[in-house]
Amino acid sequence: MRIDILTVVPELLESPFNHSILKRAQDKGLAEIKVHNLREYSTSKHNRVDDYAFGGCAGMVMQIEPIERAINMLKAERHYDEVIFTSPDGETFNQPMANALSMTENLIILCGHYKGIDYRIREHLITKEISIGDYVLTGGELAAAIISDAIVRLIPGAISDEQSALSDSFQDNLLAPPVYTRPADYNGWKVPDVLLSGNHKAIAEWEHEQSVKRTKQLRPDLLK
């Protein structure tokens, strides 16, 4: 799949996609993530992308033209399944949304900045608005990185053991069971015996029990 991210601060996205699983997914050709600097689509003298808000409210607003030009240029090259805008008033991002988006081919993610973007962009060009939670960030870049990360790790082959993505928290509406590694006894802190038993059926049952127990304790809302 391909994700095109539109931003006025591309520097903010230099690191998240260049390491670990996201980098490997790109190296393996499973995902292509392109970051575009919206200033390059400005037609104004100083590559302006924002202007004062009508109505006199404080803060700058991102202009329509550079964004529309960038989106049109991308759309001329391929079909996009969604044109996403990151926004605190969007639908709250969750695992089912990540699952659905991971099955698409091409996505555009537009990052807002300053006071936000001219509302007409949202009315005419955006197909989906996503919030990463009820708090306000300075820009949509970190939200775009989070959304892309959650999507790309779900592409078959991105994580070495496919099971491991399926057994994560929120798949099946259950939180993940605890995990342990060596040493089995760290100064008296012991790993549960069942995990050392070699009995795969007993281990699977224990893990499921733990998942249910932890979900009841920590996120009973998921069990409804």
* Binding interface with ligand SAH (CB under 6 A): 86-89, 111-113, 115-116, 131-133, 135-137, 139-140, 143
Name the minimum Å distance from CB 213 to ligand SAH.
31
Name the minimum Å distance from CB 208 to ligand SAH.
33
Q: Which is nearer to ligand SAH, 60 or 212 (CB)?
A: 60
Name the minimum Å distance from CB 142 to ligand SAH.
8
Give the distance from CA 104 to its chain's centroid: 14
Q: Which is nearer to ligand SAH, 75 or 122 (CB)?
A: 122
The answer to whether residues 63 and 49 touch, using CB atoms and an 8 Å cutoff, is: yes
Name the minimum Å distance from CB 130 to ligand SAH.
6
The 10 Å CB-count burial string (b at 16+, else e) for 13-51 is beebbeeeebebbbeeeebebebbbbbebbeeeeeebbe
Q: Which is nearer to ligand SAH, 107 or 111 (CB)?
A: 111
Q: Which is nearer to ligand SAH, 96 or 133 (CB)?
A: 133
Q: Which is nearer to ligand SAH, 115 or 214 (CB)?
A: 115
Name the minimum Å distance from CB 19 to ligand SAH.
22
Residue type present at position 39: R
Q: Which is nearer to ligand SAH, 150 or 174 (CB)?
A: 150
* String of DSSP letters for 150-217: HHHTTSTTSSSSHHHHHTSTTGGG-PPPP---S-SEETTEEPPGGGGS--HHHHHHHHHHHHHHHHHH
Q: Residue with CB nearest ligand SAH?
A: 112
3-state secondary structure of 113: strand
d(C-alpha 50, C-alpha 63), whole Å: 5
Name the minimum Å distance from CB 95 to ligand SAH.
16
Q: By 3-state DSSP, what share of the chain in percent is helix, strand and coil, each rounded to 5?
A: 40, 20, 40
